[in-house]
Structure formats: structure tokens, C-alpha cells
Structure 1
Amino acid sequence: MFKALIKIICIALIVLSIPVSTQAAEVMKPLIVIDPGHGGKYGGTTGYSGSKTGYYEKQANLEVSLRLRGVLQARGYEVKMTRTTDKHFSNASSAEDLKARTSLSNSMVAGRNDNSIFVSVHHNASSSPTYSGYETYYYNKNFQDSNYPADPLQLKYSVESGRLAQTTHTSVINSGANSEGRGIVHQSLYVTRNAQVPAILSEVEYMSNPIAESKVKTAKFQQGIAVALADGVDKFFKIFEVKNSKNVVIKTFNTKDEAITYAKTQTNVTVFDKRAGTTIFDNTTTDYRVYHPSVELTQTKFSTEKEAITFASKYRNTRVVHHPTAEVRWSNYIAKKFDVLDANKVVINQHYQRVVAETSAESLTKATLQNSETNFTLWSSIVPQAFEVRHKDNGTLKAFYDKTLAQNYAALWPGTTVYDTTKKVVVYTNPTLITPKAVSKTVSAKSRYLTAIEVSKTLYPNAFNSTKTQKTVVLATAFEYADALSAGPLAMYYGNAPILLNPASNLNADVLAEIKRLGANQIVLVGGEIALSAKVASQLQTALPQAKVERLAGKSRYETNSVINNKLPKANGIFIASGSNFPDALAATSIAVTQGWHIVLSNGTTYSDSINDQIYSKPTVIVGGTLAVSKILEEKIKERAGSDYVTRLSGKDRYGTNAALIEHFSQTFKSPTFVVSTGTNYPDALVSSSLSGKYQAPLFLVGNSISETLRPTLTSYLAQRVTKTSLYTGGIVPTAVKTEIDQLK
């Protein structure tokens, strides 16, 4: 007894520690579970003549049940039966048999309890051969017996069990299928009190009555009972339930119009058509979402902030997000570190997110925004940006409110000082006074294969160092961008491996020579055999017998992308980019390789498993406009990741999107080097991602000129840094564009 009690307590504690969903189950059409009573070694009553004829209750029960199934299925119901043959469920005893069949029926309705019912079909017997008639039994929670406890769910559905008993019993009697016996009876029968849905037990007739027994065996009688029962089931389901936001029925109606008229007077309710199994009216708003940074909560949507906080506060590491505005309203793991101060430096507001705090501060006439953890001023309409980072040749690069931040920035760039404009003195000088000479280098060759090789030589001019742990080359197709778009982060995973390009059918001799020059002992092929044939893999293995040749591929570009992402370590963030075109994904690649992010390719409309698996509570950037990734898909991504974690970065064209990405991540680039490539073809920009990885440098995409959608960002980026090295990949970038960019350095 004591051990059993301990076990119960342990189970209860485990259950309490797990977020349990109270949301409505998936809407679906009604499910009826029919249980033909008895069966197998448990024959039920022998009736008046069963001991002589061998026709027992179990057979009559099954015959009526099969007919009932047929009628219900013809009317569009989903029907399951505990048995369709003469069988029992336990050899131990009839009591254990009841438990087993009840457990089976409950498993059949699991997750669909709200729109399912249980009908157990039986035939009765009495010591008196004159008893006859139809009877219906159900469990009534108002007459509970502690010796025969009911399943908690039956207590919930008890009233509905009574209604089911009423509709089916009345239907049978009114149809003339049978006369009334003892009527509707509430009784604590095992199968009805432990059913986890509305449940009845139908005693069709008394087989101990010889006249009734003869009738029971006829097809006409059995079919009449089946049709009448089905009519009663119809009446049970032909109602319209008005439910609140917690999926609790607050009122029922017999007509749709009455239900909807009433629902329109309420807030946060739905109208459920029980017969159709669909929601026909919904004015609920679930603007508040609850998230955990790693554990997937089973309930995330709430109608009110209070409900959301009450749920979230039960668990560690949760946050409540106002979905429409993406504002974090409550959290027990994120600090409110952004303070809004008034003119007297009094904190008047605190926020979890900087963007929300900035909006709050900017709405005031006089205000200052501070990080409470560092006391750094982030924005102010009162305090001036008095600390300027100046370069001896380039002039003022950037101004700061705080001296420490200014010094930290100046420390990145040789030849800079920090000037206090208030006191008119230099307060910091970078120890490295000499600024490196400007370098403008073009990495290109006569073909895309050779350009990729030149990039590889720029990365590893003296081949792989003997101490390099991963001596890997990533090999991608030279003519189809789809699979190759996933190559950038993969190359970084392999120790910033060079990305080489190859034709689909044969191994290029120059490519092989470069692999040998590098001293690679592993070659990873990206994409299936249409991208890089089996012959290419075989040629590699023959030419490099000691090397490991591995292929990462799926049946489509999206599956290949998913295979590669599953190979990578856990991401710091996710880019969602179109797999139907290359510029957006390539623009994101140079940032993904420097930030440890994954690129997830999308067809722009479908919420795929690969998206779902990657983005839960992860910083997620949707790359490109709504033609690339639709608004509908964006909403699904926000629901999964949390709207506070999702940002769309896009421009009027591919160059504008490139600019938006660089601006958003500009503070993460602290390199004197930047990379420029063409935005009109993918191979050169693709292999450039390894250069971004090596130098922690952004990639700017250009056409025949600097796009006006990119120019402001490019100009601002170069003006704020001592960027002395420009790397141009490929021979497509015009000389005039290179000259113009170099003049901005």
C-alpha cells in the first residue's frame, strides 16, 4: 500500500512539472465507438433457448452492432468497434474482460473525446419469462459511489451521457422498434462509468422471454433497432455549442442561427457544429503567446495577458509575448535591462527589448535610454553624443554618448582617437598609429571553376597547414544554384573549407589539382547525382584513394538543405530565404558564416518540417519581400518562433535586401576587409562566403553599377570604419564600380 502511494505521488509530481495542454483537440467529424457486449468465452445470457440452440447474447449483440455500424457509416460518421468477431479480451475473468474492452475503447477516442461517444450493445434476461422491452443505462455523477469510482473524464461528460441516453432511448421507443422496459436508468456499470466520453449501455430486449427472443433473431428487428439508435445519435450530435476561450461549452443551441446570434453578443467564443465537426464562428483573439527558449510548450496561445502569465509563471524560463506587436510583456528569465529616464534621470519605464524601449523614449519630449546592466546611454534627446571617434585621414567615424563605448570602438581601428567635444580634449589614442595601406584585390579567373580555385588559393596560399584539424573541401555544382546555396555554412563547419565548383558529369582536372595542392583528406559533395554525378564521386575516390568522399543530398533542393542543416551544430539563429532564386540566400550566407546561423530554404509558401524543426524560440530573419516568402508563411513562422524573435529584412530589389541585411548586422562586422561580388550570377558570390568567413567581412552585391538601394548602406558602412582592404571576386564586377567603391574607403 505504501509503495503504491509513493508511486502515485511521484507520477503526480512528474505530471505537474510538465506543461499540459488545455487547448481544444483538433476539429474532426464525430466518432462513435460501438461495443458489442460479451464475446468469446463470455457468452452473456443464454436467454430462453440458448442452452439448446447455442444462440447466446454475445451473438445478438454483435449482429445489432454490425447493423448499427453500417447505418452510421452510411450517414457519414466515423465508427470503430471493440470487436467485429466472436472474441474476448481477457482469459482471467469477465471482470478483467470488462476492464480490457473499456481500456481499448478509451484508446480509440484518445485526443478526440469532446466529439466522440461510446455505445455498448447488450440484451437482458430475467428470472421471469414475461419481462420484455428496451432499456438504456448511463452513469449519473449525482449518484457517485465511493466503492465504484468513475473515471474523471466520465464525471466531466456525465451530463452529456444523460443527454445521449435521452435522445437514443426516446428515438427507439418513438420509432416503434421496441416497447419500453424500465426506461432510462442511471446505474454504476463498469463500461459506462469508466468511459472517457459520453456513454450509454443499450439493453435491446429480454432474451429470457421466448417471444422476445424469437424477435431478437430476426433481421427486421435488428435493423429497426440499429436505425432507431442511429436516429438518436443524430439528435445527440445535431446541436451547436458555444465555447469560451478555454474550450468550455457555455451554451448549446438547436440551430446554427440561434448559436451565432448569441455568440456575437459574447467575446472570445466559438460556435462548434457538433455534427459536422467544424467551428462555424470564431471571434476569439489569442494575442498572447508563451514560449520557452528550448522546451516546446504544449500550450502557447492565450486570450488575455493575465491567463498567459498565470500559465507561464508555473514554469522556469518562460516569456509572454504580445503577438501582434512582438513585445515581451513578462518573463522569468529575461531581464528588464532597458530603462527610460526622464529629464531628471528618474526611471519612468523599463523594458525587456531595446526596440520597444527606444520607441517609448522617442515618444517623450525629453528622455534618455540606458542599459541598466552597463549604465551605457543608448539614446537621448537630452545628452549629446560628445565622444567622437576620429581618424587622421577619414575624419569622424562615429559618435557615442559614453566614453567607454567610444574607446572600445576606436580600439578596433588603427590611427584613431576619441575626442571629447564637451571638454575639447583627446581622451583616448589607439596604440597603433600607423594605418595599413589601402589594398584593392580582385580574385578572379577565366571561368567559374578557376575563380573558385583562386578564392581557395587566397584562403590557403600555402595549402592546408599540417596542424589543421579539418582538411576538407566542399564541392558544389557549377551550373545549378539550388543545392549550392546551402554550401556556405557547411564549408564553415568544416573549418572554413574552400568551396570548389565542378561540372555535373566529370571531374574537372583543375579542380582535382587544387584539391591535391591543398592536401585535402575529405571531399564533401553537395547535392544529388543530377548536381554531381556518381562518376564524379568515383573519379575523386580513384584519384584520392586515401581521402573520404562524402555526399550530402536529398530528393530536392529543400531536402538537401535540410540534410546539411542537420549536419551542422546548433544554430545561433536562422535565415529563411527563397530556394527559387539565389540573391537573397547568398546575401545571407556571408552573415550566416560569421554568426553561426543556418540558412533554411523555402519555396515561399509552404510551412515545412525543416522550418518547423529549426526555428522554435530562435532568432529568425526572413530574407526578402513577400514574393520571396509570403505573409501567410511569415505568420506561421512567427507563431512557432515567437513574433519577438522574427524579423523580415528586405529591400526594393536584391541589392536593397543585401543592404538591409548588412545594416541589421552591421555591429557584428569589425573587420578592415569587405568583399564585393556580382549580384547577377551566383558562382562568384557563392565561393565568396569562405572569404567572409576568414575575414569576418560582409559581402556587398553589385551589378553594372552600385544600385541606389545599396549605395547609402555601402557609403555609411565604409565611412564608419577604417576599411582598407576590398576583395572583389569574379571578373564580372566592372572596373568603374571598383574604382568608385575604393574611393569611398
Structure 2
Amino acid sequence: MKNKGILSLLIMGLILCFLPYKANAEEELKPLVIIDPGHGGKYSGTAGYSGSKTGYYEKRANIEVSLKLRNTLVAKGYEVFMTRSTDKHFSTVSSSEDLKQRTRVANNAAIGRNDNTIFISIHHNATSSPSYSGYETYYYDAKQIDPSYPPDPMQIVYSDESHRLAKLTHASVINSGANTEGRGIVHYSLYVTRNAQMPSILAEVEYMSNPYEEKKVKTATFQQGIANALAVGVDNYFNLYIVQDSKGKQLKTFTNSQDALTYAKKLKNVQVFYKKSGKYIFNNFSYDYRAYHLSVDLAQTKFISYEEAVAFTKAYKNTRVVHHPTGKVVWSNYLVKRFDLVNANAIVTNQYFREHQAVNDAITQEKVTVKDNVSSSIVYSSIVTPSFDVYHATKGKLKSFFNQEEAIAYAKLWPSTRVANNTNHTTIYTNTNTTKVAKTSVTVKGQTRYGTSIEVSKMLYPTGFPSDKADKTIVIATGEEFADALSAGPLAAQYGNAPILLNPSGSLPVETIAEIKRLGGNHIILVGGAGAISAGVENELRIKFPTAKVERISGADRYATNDAINNRLSKPSGIFVVSGKDYPDALAASAIAVNKNYHIILTDGTTYRESMNKQVYSTPTFIVGGPYAVSDILMDKIKERAGADLVKRLSGKDRYATNAALIEQFSDSLQSPVFLVSTGLNYPDALVTSALAAKYAAPLYLVKDSLPDALKPSLTTYLKERVTTTSIYIGGVVTDQVKNQIDILK
């Protein structure tokens, strides 16, 4: 080594922060080897023993070894960058400036991947004595800083790794027999190694001032031997399994994958990074905390700890943090913790952002009360007895309430009711309307499924559309499949409660034409593609009704048609996710969707479509049906997107129990004295009930040949608490047995 002497070293006390490896477990960071052939161009390096005569200078030996090392590493699968691959210099100003420029080239190549990059500068040595020989490795030791030659701050961080790289590559060269030992591993304050922004070494391959060694240096065999040995050392360096915590802090390292995995699996929220592949091969992160905005996507949504989630989320307005496993909102800057869980000693033991979460916890405990601290009302209690009862003149007690205002508001809905304060046995409100409503049963049916849809249309609009009706829209869907008509319920509701007419796919019946004329419609929407309602039918409608706007909403399949319909709708108050492979769950949901401004999303049960993203994000979402209809895996994906606090499955042992679960969930908003009944054994009749459900704000009960046991409790409660007397049967297949059973319950 020419003009390189031992520098005096001074230890300085430094407070250093460890620079972590990349913490993203999904990121692939392939290793990069930067090879720096020393000198070049006008800076020839040592002339060695005979270079001044032969012209074979150090710069040439350096490039020859470096090229062989590059080829060897590339063959092993490494990415390699060379500061130079030809005989060139980096600066004409001076050799010191040349060092700065070549180091800058190397550092620029490492930007963004410094943690898994190494720098190897290849040199050949020289001294005044022709007897010196051997291989030497130089690295920068941050523990012995010379203030006259300050290092790059990043090299201080990487110093230990530089030492590890030096030991492994040096041992590989010596143990392979590629060369003999020189002065070994030396910590020197060389410019390139102390300023490299990655682990770095400088390899002095041999002393060219020794005539015997110089001759050897020029041979391809020797050069390749050094290259092979260095490549093995590089392999050994990168063959490292690093166990890190969730923030990327190194916990422990291993050279064997199984040892690393065994260790990691004993810990929580750790990952294992394999340097040689540049991949994270394991993590057991539990992203238990999720962040959501009311309407827009956040840059980060998953967090391991509550503190991390809140620290990130509080920078945005209208956000909340959800504990994903339990579905509880744990922090928010737009929701209020308005629900208190109070024990028997009147002590608030917990507070909640959402009522259902407070009640769900309360029902698992003894002697607790849930209070709304905004309205000062009781929501639930296993201690306090409801003080206010609503009585009907003939049906007796209908319902009990904790709060007087709610009791009176309920009693005002029904004739012949009163509110009693059961603490002092006084009547505090009487509904003076004593109108008696006869028990009424209405059957709406036609000779065919198409005729039934026309009869439902006539019930909706007995004299056609009113002249002052803003929307005179008619929705037409195929009666040969159920999917399109299921999707059409909310669409029809948005267009002024448009009737849904079922139609054959390939023809336009005269009865349908007559009904469109009777209604006086000026806007006809065809739902589904040409396979559902043919182009011929569409053309005939345009001819028959030249002044009407005729349009089609469709997609490539039932799910795409469903998406196209939902894209037409206004922003939903909630979402029903139902199977598009069967009809019962969607039928029952549609009757509620039209009253609650909910969208219906059809699914194949397993596939998460991108179209769901906009629909369910931060929106109350109900999965209708069991895992066979909508899988748990799909439900979990929807929970991630919507927020686990807003997703609930409504299901029962069969279609009828699921129907009951739906009505029970929305019972507080179903106050109609009318209810709908149709068969659950086939779909055509029930497909057109959503418009009637919207007209009467009524639920739909699906039945079989007899009244299903799963429906009896729900129907009994509904009939009594709502003083319900009017039943509308859609289609001609609801049996007399069912009608009689319902009449008895009335």
C-alpha cells in the first residue's frame, strides 16, 4: 500500500442511535454488492516492482480482480454495482478529490437499500521492502475515531457490520488458500471505508512490490482464486437470519434458519429477515388496531399497538381506531364516549363509543346498567326495572321502556293505548284515538309470476302514477332468474318507489305493455344484460313508448350488474352483503333495504370484489346468512375494510331463522301495522315485494307450506307490539294453513 501509514486513533464518546433494518415485512430488499476497483485513469496506484517498465500498474490488477469478482457474484445471483468497469478516474483535480467522487458514486448506488448493501474496495499493496507479502483487510472502527478524519455518520452505525464483513471475507481468503496471511485484519481510517454509507472493507490483495508476488498477481488463476474466496465471504456475510421487533430493531442473529424461527416463534410481534434473499421469511405481527376515516382512505390503517394507532390517526379529523379482534372503537375524534357501563354501586366502570358494544358487554355481567350520558337515559339494565309500560285496550301490555319520552312516542303510534308509570301506578298518557282496525288479509296474485308483478304494481298505484309524481319510473327485470330483480329493490326505491315488473327474456307480453300504459310511465329501466332482457324487448319498448326514456343497467354478470346498480344509488346508510347464488336471504334483506336506504351487495360467497371497497368503507354492514352463504374469510376481509365495529353477521339455522334475525335487528325501525308474507320456497313472487315494503315500511316474512317455527316468536312479538292486523300475501302459493296460523296469532 503506497503512502498508507498507521494513523493515531482517539476514542471519542458518542451517543449513537441504531439504524434499523427495513421494518416492512412485505418488502423485498435484494442484497447489493458495490465493488470499487481502486485508482484508475490518471491515478495509477502503485507501480509495484516492475510497473514502471512494463506498464502493469495497480489500477489494472484492481480492475481485473474486480471484474472476476463481479462475474462470480452475479453467477451466485447477487446484484452487483461497480464504481468503474473501465480504466477511468472520477476527478482531474486531485487523487483525494477522486476518492471523494468515487465514494459519492458508491453511496448514491446504495440509497434506499443501505441496510442490505456492502462495499468492497479492491487494492494491491506496496512497500519499500520487496519481501513483504500476503493478503490484508481494512475496515473502519467507530470505537477508534480520529477527529482529524471524521467519518460519515452512517459508517459509525455500520461499523460493527463492517468488522463482521472484514472477518468473514478475510477468513474465506486465507482458509481457501487463495493467498497467505499478511498483516491480517486492520482498522484504518481510510477515506472510502470511513465514508461509505454501508458496511465496507478495503481488500489489499497482495504486495506488488514483491517481485515474486507481482508475477503471481498478473495471473488469471490467482485473480480468480481471490474472486472465488471473496465471493464465499460475501455469501457468509449475507447468510444471516435477523430477528427484529416490529419497529425493525435487531434482537438476535442466526446463521441457521430453523434456529432463527424457533427463537422468533417464542416472541410476540417479531419478524425474521434473511439478508441473502432480501426477504422477510416470517412474522407473527398482530395488527390488532385499525384506523379509519369517515370517508377517505388513510395512508396507514394497521397498527400493532394502541399508542402507534392513535399517534398516527389523531393527525386527521373524523377518524377512529378500532380494536380489530373485538370490534370495539377504542379512540375517536368524531365519536363521543356517550355510553357508560355503571355497576350496582353507581360507579362507571367503562365507557363506550357505540351503544351495541356497551350492551354486548353488559349482558355478560351481573347487576350493571348502560346509560346514555348525553340524554341521561337508560339503554339497558339488569338492575333497574323499566318504569314505563305501554298498554293496549285489548292486547294488554305491549312494551316496556326505561324512559318516559320513548314510551309516549311509541304509544302515539297505536290507537287505544296508554302509558303507565309502574312505580306509582298512574297513567301518564292516553292515546285518544280509539279507531278499531279490522283484521285484514289481502292476497295479491296473478296467473303467472309476470301477472303477480303487475298486480303488485296495481296495488302500489291503483290509478296509475299521480300526475304530480316527479319520478314516473318503471323497472323491468327478468322473471327467469332472481339475481337482477334482487339488486333492483333499492334502485326502484330511489326512483320514487318504482314498481318492478317481471318479464320474459325474449318477449314483451301485452299485459306488460298495458300496465306501462296504465301507469303512465315516462322512464323505463331494464335491469340486466341482453341475456336477461333481450335487445328485441328493449327495441319494442322504444317503439311502443317513443316519448319514454328507455335505458339499461347491466354488467358482464349478475355481480357486475349489481355493481352498476349500486353505482347509480345515493350514498347508503348501510350495506347488506348477501349470496348471489340463492335468493331467500336477499329477499328478506331487500324489504328492509328499501326502508333504511341500504345497498345490497351480491356475492359468490368467497370473492372480495374491488367494487366493495367504496361501498363498505366505514359503513354499517350486515352479512346476511351463514358461512355457507357468505364465508368467514370474506367477512373478515369486509371487516378489515369497513371496520370490525360496523360489521355483523345476521343468520340462523335456515332461511327462515335468518329472516327472523333480520327483522329482530331492525325491529325498532319497523313500526308498520302492515306486514308482507310470501313463499320462501321459490323466488318470483317475493322478487317484487320490495316496492310494497317501501310503501308500507313493512317487513317481509318468508314461509313454507306451514308457518316455520323459527318465525313464530318474531311474528308473535311483531303482531302484538305493533298492534298489527293487516297481512299482505304476495303470490298464490302461500297456503291457507299459513294464513290461518297467522290469523290466530293476530
Query: What interval of TM-score do these two structures reach, taking the shorter chain for normalisation?
Result: 0.7 to 0.9
- Please give the residue correspondences for 1:159-170 in structure 2 after superposition, counting only pairs within 5 Å: 160=161, 163-164=164-165, 167=168
- For residue 397 of structure 2, what is the aligned residue in structure 1? 396
- SS of match in other structure, 2:689: helix
Gaps of 5+ in 2: 1-20, 91-96
Cα drift, residue 394 of structure 1: 2.7
Q: How does 1:576-615 map to 2 (within 5 A)?
A: 576-615=577-616
Contact kept in structure 2, 1:526 and 1:551, CA below 8 Å? yes
Equivalence for 2:26: 27
Displacement of 1:543 in angstroms is 3.6
Q: In structure 1, what is the equivalent of residue 3 of structure 2? A: none
1:240-289 per-position Cα deviation (integer Å, ceiling 9, x unaligned) = 22222334221112223433454455444344444456666655544444
Q: Which amino acid aligns with 2:26?
A: V
Q: For 1:654 and 1:634, how far apart are their aligned partners in 2? A: 19
Per-residue deviation at 1:382?
A: 4.0
Q: Please show how residues 246-257 of structure 1 align to structure 2 within 5 Å.
A: 246-257=247-258
Equivalent AA in structure 1 for residue 24 of structure 2:
A
- Return the match for 2:75 from 55, 62, 71: 71
Distance 1:125 1:285 in 2: 52
Q: Does 1:470 align with 2:471?
A: yes
Distance 1:356 1:219, change over 3 A: same
Shift of 1:80: 8.2
CA-CA distance at 1:664 after TM superposition: 0.7
How has the CA–CA distance of structure 1 residues 148 and 687 changed in structure 2, closer, same or farther, with 3 Å as cutoff? Answer: farther
Match runs of 1:131-530 below 5 Å = 160=161, 163-164=164-165, 167=168, 171=172, 175=176, 198=198, 227-228=228-229, 230-263=231-264, 266-275=267-276, 284-313=285-314, 315-343=316-344, 345=346, 347-358=348-359, 361-362=362-363, 366-530=367-531
CA 1:177/1:383 → structure 2, altered by over 3 Å: closer, same or farther? same
Q: 1:665 Cα shift?
A: 0.9
- Give yes or no for contact 2:33–2:119 (8 Å, CA) kept in 1: yes
SS of the residue 2:640 aligns to? helix
CA deviation after TM superposition for structure 1 residue 225, in Å: 6.6
C-alpha distance in 2 between matches for 1:552 and 1:204: 75
Identify the range of structure 1 (658-667 vs 121-130) with the bigger mean alpha-carbon deviation: 121-130
1:384 Cα offset (Å): 2.8
Contact 2:70-2:80 within 8 A present in 1 as well: no
Counterpart of 2:657, as a letter, is: G
Residue matched to 1:672: 673
Amino acid at match of 1:474: V
> 1 CA distance for matches of 2:567 and 2:181?
66
Aligned counterparts of 1:303 and 1:367: Cα–Cα separation in 2: 32
How far 1:737 sits from its partner (Å)?
1.3
Amino acid at match of 1:727: I
CA contact (8 A) 2:390 2:399 kept: yes
8 Å CA contact retained: 1:65, 1:121: no
Q: Which amino acid letter does the alignment assign opposite residue 463 of structure 1?
A: G
Instruction: Provide Cα deviations, 1:312-345, integer angstroms capped at 9, x if missing partner.
Output: 4555444343333333334343222223345565
How far is 1:215 from its partner?
Answer: 10
Separation (CA, whole Å) in 2 of partners of 1:731 and 1:378: 43
Alpha-carbon distance between aligned partners in 1 of 2:279 and 2:136, rounded to the nearest angstrom: 32
Query: Is the 2:66–2:122 Cα contact (8 Å) retained in structure 1?
Result: no
Contact 1:63 1:222 in 2 (8 A): no
3-state DSSP of counterpart to 1:692: helix
Q: Which stretch shifts more, 169-178 or 248-257?
A: 169-178
State the secondary structure of the residue aligned to 1:31: coil
Contact 1:482–1:557 (CA under 8 A) maintained in structure 2? yes
- Structure 1 stretches lacking a partner, 5+ long: 1-21
Seq. identity, %: 47
What TM-score do the two structures reach when normalised by structure 1? 0.79
Question: Which one has the largest radius of gyration?
Answer: 2
Give the drift of 1:390.
2.0
* Cα 1:140–1:334 shift into 2, 3 Å: farther
- Change over 3 Å in CA distance of 1:393–1:272 after alignment to 2: same
Q: For residues 511 and 388 of structure 1, do their structure 2 counterparts lie closer, same or farther at Cα, with a shift above 3 Å needed?
A: same
1:708 deviation in Å?
Answer: 0.8
CA shift for structure 1 position 644: 2.0
The offset of 1:408, in angstroms, is 0.8
Q: Do the aligned partners of residues 178 and 443 (structure 1) sit closer, same or farther apart at CA in structure 2, a change above 3 Å counting?
A: farther
Q: Which amino acid aligns with 1:606?
A: T
Alignment of 1:506-585 (within 5 A): 506-585=507-586
Q: Distance in 2 between matches of 1:280 and 1:704?
A: 58
- Between 648-657 and 564-573, report the one with greater CA deviation: 564-573
Q: Matches of 2:529 and 2:41 in 1, distance apart?
A: 62
Cα distance in 2, alignment partners of residues 652 and 739 from structure 1: 25
Q: Secondary structure at the match of 1:675?
A: strand
Residue 688 of structure 2 aligns to a residue whose secondary structure is helix
CA gap 1:516/1:264 in 2 versus in 1, 3 angstroms: same
Question: Is the 1:506–1:536 Cα contact (8 Å) retained in structure 2?
Answer: yes
Shift in CA distance, 124/597, structure 1 to aligned 2, threshold 3 Å: farther
SS in 1 for 2:370: strand
Which is worse superposed, 137-146 or 160-169? 137-146
Deviation at 1:561, TM superposition (A): 2.5
Amino acid corresponding to residue 71 of structure 2 in structure 1: R
Is the contact between residue 587 and residue 699 of structure 1 (CA under 8 Å) also seen in structure 2?
Answer: yes
Residues 69 and 231 of structure 2 are in contact (CA less than 8 Å); yes or no, is this contact kept in structure 1? no
Moved more, 282-291 or 496-505: 282-291
Q: Residue type of the partner of 1:32? A: P
SS of the equivalent of 1:656 reads helix
d(CA) in 1 for partners of 2:712, 2:120: 79
TM-aligned CA distance change 1:688 to 1:193, over 3 Å:
farther
Q: Residue 329 of structure 2: SS of its match in structure 1?
A: strand
Aligned length: 707
Are the counterparts in 2 of residues 320 and 328 from structure 1 also a CA contact under 8 Å? yes
1:538 aligns to what SS in structure 2? Answer: helix
Post-superposition offset of 1:666? 0.7
| Residue in 2 that maps onto 1:4 | none
SS at match of 1:350: strand
- The residue type equivalent to 2:31 in the other structure is I
- Aligned to 2:378, what secondary structure does the other structure show? strand
1:50-107 CA-partner distances (Å, limit 9, x unpaired) = 999xx9999979965873564133xxx6x58799999x9x9xx999999899767647
Distance 1:124 1:546 in 2: 89
Range 315-324 or range 414-423, more displaced: 315-324
SS of match in other structure, 1:709: helix
Kept in 2, the 8 Å contact 1:64–1:226? The answer is yes
Please give the per-residue CA displacement for 1:639-688, whole angstroms capped at 9, x wherever unaligned: 33332222111101001001101101111112222222221222222211
1:395 aligned partner, one-letter code? G
1:238 to partner: Cα distance: 1.9
**Shift of residue 533, structure 1, vs aligned partner:** 3.2
1:561 partner SS: helix
